[in-house]
Structure 1
Amino acid sequence: MGSISSAIPTIDKIHNDTLFYDHKDENEESVDFLQNSKLVQLFKNNIPKKIVDFFYILAYAPFMVPFEKRAEIFHFFIEYDKHNNNVNEWFPTKVEGVISRNNMLFDSYNSFGNLTGTEFKRQFSVQFVNEFGETEAGIDGGGLTKELLTTLVASTFVPSEENRKNNKGLQLFKEAISYACTNDEYLKISRFLGMVIGKCLYDNVLLDISFTSFFLNTCATLGSKYFKNLIGEKISTDPEKFESMSLLFTVDDIFYDEDGNLHHVEVPLIPPQKKSPDSAPEPVPVTVNNKMQFVRLMTSFKLSKQTDLVMKYFVEGLFQVIKPYWLLLFNPFELQTLISGDDDAIDIDDLQRNVEYGGFLESDQTVHDLFTILREFDRTDRGKFVKFVTSSPKQPLLGFKELNPKFGIRNSGSDTSRLPTASTCVNLLKIPDYRDKELLREKLLYSINSKAGFDLS
């Protein structure tokens, strides 16, 4: 990957100097942006052939490159961008924000919502205020920022319990904020939440969340308002509507609803004939002859027009932090993996190779017992353990070496009556020196199943 990393500056310059992201001509036809005359001329100006070939592979055939390699390339782009924007300088200027836990979304928006994309990439300095109005102890070295980002996503994107039971999928963030916002505020916060997701990708913060495929497809296709008009995409956004439309394909004649009434659509399937400009179009019955057209119109409406403005603002915020062409390397399912981590079983050997100890040595009995227990855990309990410590039940895509801060295990003393605790904001597990494998197993299972023990100490 060394030669690839050396090509990143040139490829980044090519994109920044020549490419644009609304590739349609005046007739709304798609345009091959790689035929851009400026780009072709640039390639003639002494750019090494290997870089040109690599550029075209990433642009035209990225899936010829294994996913793990493309993920590495994605992180190369981010590291190069951090270097250009002095994100990791020795004494960075941090953006400060005082955030009340009782008003986390709006305090975060007021503190960080008006930042430019470059400013949003920089390190934050977060100070939390508890429910009693008291400033919490702790200096933000990155852990409090991670806690803020993961909490924002969990509180605004995770569906309500009712929707979860009804299998309605993610309702994005509308439930959480629309009740308290004007329409203009809602759109601005949508943009802010796009920047939050972008910062999680940028800072390699894993999120315990699954987005719908059409949502990810929109991001991966540069936020175009022209979504794929495929009925299959309906499953993840409105299962009930999908099922009812699927029934149309089994109907042999005019379609009736469950009450026996002729089914009508809200938009005309054919232009009204000989009507005055002020007259409303008449609804057209769905019949066996036009049912496919109805399905295509309804799918387009649900995936495009109904969410168009919100998605436009969200994707605008996302691309303030993450450059659009970075996401062209991935399909929607791969993008989900970038956001939330690897679905494969937790690799305990890899975890053990990437642990930092405090008050323990790797050879200590309690540490040995811990990793023995983790290897004996089933897949579910391993996921619970990793979530208990890091806030995500999945391991990083490129292994635990990618965790920032590193996975830590600290000796919390000799009081074996205490439970294991964790500071998820810094990926730190704190356990007493039990020196008793079965006692450790009992206490650890209690903690990871009750979500007990989070603290900042």
Structure 2
Amino acid sequence: MLSSSAGTNIQQSKDVEMSERRFNGEEQFKQLLSIGIFNNRTLLKLMVHAYFHQLTQGCGLENCKNPQCKRNTSVNETEAAKLAIDFAKKAFDKANPQFFLCDIVNPILPNFSPTLDLCVQEECLQRILEDNAKSGDYSVFMDIIKRVFSSDSSLSYSFQTRDALYKKSTKEKNQIDNSSVERVYKVILGTKNESVIHSLAHAIEELGKRFNTHVDRVQNVKFIVILLQCPLLMEPSSHKSLLLLMQGILKLSPTVLKQLKEVLSYTPSEYLSSFVSIFQQFITVQLYSRGYIDEGIAYATRLLGIINSANEKKSFHEKVDYREFYNDAVNNIVDIKEDYIRWTKAQSTPNHGFEYFNFCEFPYILDPNFKSKILQLDAEIQQNKELRNAFISSLFRQPTSLFCVLKVDRHNLLQTALNEIMNRADDLKKQLRVKFIGEEGIDEGGVRKEFFQLIVKQIFDVNYGMFEYDEKTRTFWFNSHSFESGDDFKLIGIVIGLAIYNSIILDIHFPLIVYKKMLGLKPNLEDLKEAFPELGKGLQQLLDFEGDVEDVFCRTFQVETEFFGHVETHDLKPNGGNIPVTNENREEYVKLLVEWKLEKSIERQFRAFIEGFKMVCSDPTILDLFRAEELELLICGSPVLDFEALERTTKYADGYDRDDPLIRDFWDIVHHFSEEDKKKFLMFCTGSDRVPIKGLGELGFVIVRNGDDDKRLPTAHTCFNHLLLPRYSTKEAMRERLLTAINNCMGFGLQ
């Protein structure tokens, strides 16, 4: 069996002077024999397995000359077994040892790291386990586990891909055979042997202690990825080991931490997703069991950030879904106001410690609803500040409006809205009130909703010329040939900012790249594919083409656009019309074309748009909370019309309750509405057909009894999301009255 040494210390940089030399099978055997970690009986069995593997499966060398390799001989399994036993015995001849192993690493034999720590491949562990299982004595297998899994050096050089093991030149950047690691853990846990499983758990804990104590000596971080694949870390009983591992990782130097992010970025997404689950479960268990935020939760949150950074380096189709980083426990039970306060204090306290830990600094863990509430809280604070300033100002100087009041003409909406906004630029962060000139009504929210609805409808009318509509993607894009002034594009930016600031959902349909640009992100080919699928597909075909690009595609670094029959040319680079696109420069061409289409061609329009937006949303720290997808949700609301959630959360007043037969009939009618009628119903009741960011369950919908007259139509207080519903005598009468109301809501019923 193995010697009593149960692991090695964290490797030190001075020990790496051996460099990453490659052992071959003969050297592996001699090293194992010299250090005496196996008895001869165990080592003989391993050599038999090693030769049998070589004779039946080969060694992996493409130009192997060894006559005793499958590449150069053909024997059946019976013959191979006899030869393997014979060859293995000859290795133990003290007077004249003979070897027939290929000149390459043999995966059946334990190998050695550059610091001569024992490391293994899956095949080695499998053979040892099979032999131990037959005898019922798992001591050798457990000693191997203790030795390998308690040493960072051993583990980092174990379970390598074949290319990494054989030191082959390859484009494959991931050197860990993650599927092999997964199978190894499955085999270990599959023994159902408590001693075996305990040996693994104990080894991981020991490694955590050494790692945490000697973190400055770490040179290779692959062991961290291999440890994170261990299913035991999902168990609360292993949280002590996980805590040690987290502490060690967070102590790594920036250089080594960068190396870890690189290794994680090469890790297949299904394993990266499982790593996310480990830390999510840790946070959830700690929050619910303790009821407060401790340093362990802070560690796990930061570790999720490291994985998130690695995930962002992956290509679009290989990424873990960003929503997997949301933590339900954090989003459901953390006090938003307290977290916001700690966040603001942390911003003014560089290099703060745990006392100011907050989740806003780690927005990947927060869902859009939490973030929207942070934004609303910040907006309320800003609005209250403006209100106080206006009140104080009115005491000593000319009275100042406590609100941002826009008086607009319904028949000249865009111009009067633009004039009012520009005249009140200093008031935009006050709470908004809207009044239509010549009309009665106090704006408690409903008038404001109608204002946004009407102005968006006019601005995005293709006949107005500011935006183009794509029938295939059903999205709007800036008209690069628009005759409209920059003020009009500034207006829509201001409108979107005001809507965010005043919690209004807008009926806007931009491709995702617009929201990315609003956050200051650079566009790429994937963005172009989403916004302009045909163009994006063509550019991808250009990149993937294996023939002569210049001869087949006949393109230059120049693009053409047509406007009212007039063709304009645009050079993507100086003298672009005379530079052909070739196999060598096609990546540059695609990059420049993406930049031109999504940035330069609409530079004037977007500059005005973003200038208007920042007149209201000027604090980048708030916007930095959001991803582009989340910003779209914030502005446009959820696309899901979940009327079941609306029914579950609806409240009733003045004689109605959820068990009333009329109410049951009401919901049966509404649930059978078409999607279009459901949107009309929302418009009628709330003044908007958009769904709040968290869904219809967050609407705060109330149904109020309003008399017993069959002839009376339903009405609504859109400011408060109240439906005033008469008690109709029949279900059919209610259906007819509801449909009449929602199809004519612009003419009556809105209050």
Scaled by the length of structure 1, the TM-score of the pair is 0.72
Separation of aligned partners in 2, 1:146 and 1:332: 24
Separation of aligned partners in 2, 1:113 and 1:174: 24
Counterpart amino acid of 1:246?
Q
CA contact (8 A) 2:340 2:360 kept: no
Quote the offset at 1:107 in angstroms.
0.9
Q: Is the counterpart of residue 126 in structure 1 residue 422 in structure 2?
A: no
Quote the offset at 1:454 in angstroms.
4.1
Q: In structure 2, what is the equivalent of residue 416 of structure 1?
A: 710
Q: Is the counterpart of residue 263 in structure 1 residue 263 in structure 2?
A: no
CA contact (8 A) 2:506 2:635 kept: yes
Choose which of 615, 619, 623 in structure 2 pairs with 1:327: 623
Q: Is the counterpart of residue 216 in structure 1 residue 216 in structure 2?
A: no
CA contact (8 A) 1:87 1:121 kept: no
After superposition, the C-alpha distances for 1:361-398 in whole angstroms (9 at most, x for unaligned) are 44765444323433455766544422332244443224
CA contact (8 A) 1:421 1:455 kept: yes
Give 3-state SS (helix, strand or coil) of 2:599's partner: helix
1:88/1:79 Cα in 2 relative to 1: closer, same or farther (>3 Å)?
Answer: farther
Counterpart amino acid of 1:265?
F
Give 3-state SS (helix, strand or coil) of 2:436's partner: strand
1:81/1:124 Cα in 2 relative to 1: closer, same or farther (>3 Å)?
Answer: closer
CA contact (8 A) 1:253 1:288 kept: yes
Q: In structure 2, what is the equivalent of residue 243 of structure 1?
A: 537
Choose which of 489, 506, 526 in structure 2 pairs with 1:232: 526
Q: In structure 1, what is the equivalent of residue 442 of structure 2?
A: 139
Pairs within 5 Å for 1:92-241? 93-116=402-425, 119-129=427-437, 135-157=438-460, 163-165=469-471, 167=473, 169-172=475-478, 178-179=482-483, 181=484, 186-221=485-520, 227-241=521-535
CA contact (8 A) 1:207 1:391 kept: no
Q: In structure 2, what is the equivalent of residue 288 of structure 1?
A: 583
CA contact (8 A) 2:572 2:593 kept: no
Give 3-state SS (helix, strand or coil) of 1:163's partner: strand
Give 3-state SS (helix, strand or coil) of 2:614's partner: helix
1:393/1:412 Cα in 2 relative to 1: closer, same or farther (>3 Å)?
Answer: same
Quote the offset at 1:68 in angstroms.
3.5
Q: In structure 1, what is the equivalent of residue 681 of structure 2?
A: 385
Runs of at least 5 residues in structure 1 that lack an aligned partner in the other structure: 18-41, 130-134, 222-226, 272-279
Give 3-state SS (helix, strand or coil) of 1:58's partner: coil
Separation of aligned partners in 2, 1:113 and 1:189: 12
Give 3-state SS (helix, strand or coil) of 1:85's partner: helix
Quote the offset at 1:103 in angstroms.
1.6
CA contact (8 A) 1:157 1:172 kept: no
After superposition, the C-alpha distances for 1:224-277 in whole angstroms (9 at most, x for unaligned) are xxx4241110134333422332331354224579xxx93223266776xxxxxx
CA contact (8 A) 1:147 1:425 kept: no
Quote the offset at 1:196 in angstroms.
1.3
CA contact (8 A) 1:388 1:422 kept: yes
1:78/1:234 Cα in 2 relative to 1: closer, same or farther (>3 Å)?
Answer: same
Q: Is the counterpart of residue 82 in structure 1 residue 383 in structure 2?
A: yes
CA contact (8 A) 1:268 1:281 kept: yes
Pairs within 5 Å for 1:272-351? 283-322=578-617, 323-348=619-644, 350=646
1:250/1:285 Cα in 2 relative to 1: closer, same or farther (>3 Å)?
Answer: same
1:425/1:172 Cα in 2 relative to 1: closer, same or farther (>3 Å)?
Answer: farther
CA contact (8 A) 2:709 2:726 kept: yes
Q: Is the counterpart of residue 43 in structure 1 residue 337 in structure 2?
A: no
Q: In structure 2, what is the equivalent of residue 11 of structure 1?
A: 343
Quote the offset at 1:299 in angstroms.
0.3
Separation of aligned partners in 2, 1:137 and 1:194: 28
1:362/1:416 Cα in 2 relative to 1: closer, same or farther (>3 Å)?
Answer: same
CA contact (8 A) 2:480 2:601 kept: no
Runs of at least 5 residues in structure 2 that lack an aligned partner in the other structure: 1-332, 392-399, 559-569
Choose which of 360, 368, 371 in structure 2 pairs with 1:58: 360
1:219/1:429 Cα in 2 relative to 1: closer, same or farther (>3 Å)?
Answer: same
CA contact (8 A) 2:497 2:613 kept: yes
Give 3-state SS (helix, strand or coil) of 2:360's partner: helix
Count, aligned residues = 394
Tell me which moved more, 361-370 or 137-146. Answer: 361-370
CA contact (8 A) 1:411 1:432 kept: yes
CA contact (8 A) 1:192 1:314 kept: yes
Separation of aligned partners in 1, 2:706 and 2:335: 45
Separation of aligned partners in 2, 1:378 and 1:152: 27
Separation of aligned partners in 2, 1:82 and 1:316: 21
Tell me which moved more, 290-299 or 155-164. Answer: 155-164
Quote the offset at 1:296 in angstroms.
0.7
Counterpart amino acid of 2:435?
Q
CA contact (8 A) 1:208 1:340 kept: yes
Separation of aligned partners in 2, 1:413 and 1:334: 42
Structure with more of its chain in helix, by fraction: 2
CA contact (8 A) 1:120 1:199 kept: yes
Separation of aligned partners in 1, 2:599 and 2:696: 38
Counterpart amino acid of 1:137?
E
Counterpart amino acid of 2:669?
I
Give 3-state SS (helix, strand or coil) of 2:441's partner: coil
Quote the offset at 1:99 in angstroms.
2.0
Separation of aligned partners in 1, 2:473 and 2:366: 35
Counterpart amino acid of 1:43?
P
Pairs within 5 Å for 1:350-429? 350=646, 353-355=649-651, 357=653, 361-362=656-657, 366-377=662-673, 381-398=677-694, 403=699, 407=701, 409=703, 414-417=708-711, 419-420=713-714, 422=716, 424=718, 427-429=721-723
Separation of aligned partners in 1, 2:591 and 2:446: 46
1:168/1:145 Cα in 2 relative to 1: closer, same or farther (>3 Å)?
Answer: closer
CA contact (8 A) 1:9 1:80 kept: no
Scaled by the length of structure 2, the TM-score of the pair is 0.46
Give 3-state SS (helix, strand or coil) of 2:428's partner: helix
Q: Is the counterpart of residue 69 in structure 1 residue 370 in structure 2?
A: yes
Separation of aligned partners in 2, 1:123 and 1:144: 14
Task: Give the structure with higher Rg (CA).
Answer: 2
Separation of aligned partners in 2, 1:372 and 1:387: 19
Give 3-state SS (helix, strand or coil) of 1:102's partner: helix
